[in-house]
Amino acid sequence: MMSNFIFMNGYGIFVWSSFGLVLISGFILFLKTRKTLKKYEKEFLLELQTLPEAKKKHVLENSKIANKILVENSKTN
């Protein structure tokens, strides 16, 4: 019963290899996207630090994303 499911009448090698390929590709895409996001967050923090205090306060009051980035950064540091 279980071997029928795994071998799928001789097509199992194609099914499982394509499933594995999609799983690996999705994981690689996730890692690249996470790396890019961290890069952009660091660039944003550097840019935010160079702003004058009044502008920085205005950005933080109006942006939920900026607040989330600052909270995430403070947790990791």
Q: What is the pLDDT of residue 75?
A: 80
Q: How confident is the model at residue 53 (pLDDT cuts 50, 70, 90)?
A: very high
Give the pLDDT score at 17. 97
pTM for the full predicted model: 0.76
Identify the DSSP state of 52.
Answer: -
Annotated domain spans of the chain: 2-76
Quick one: average pLDDT of 15-26? 97
pLDDT digits (tens, 9 = 90+) for 27-52: 999 999 999 999 999 999 999 989 99
Residue 77 has a pLDDT of 67
Instruction: Compute the distance between CA of residue 68 and CA of residue 77 in angstroms, rounded to an integer.
Output: 14
Cα–Cα distance between 18 and 26 in angstroms, integer?
A: 12
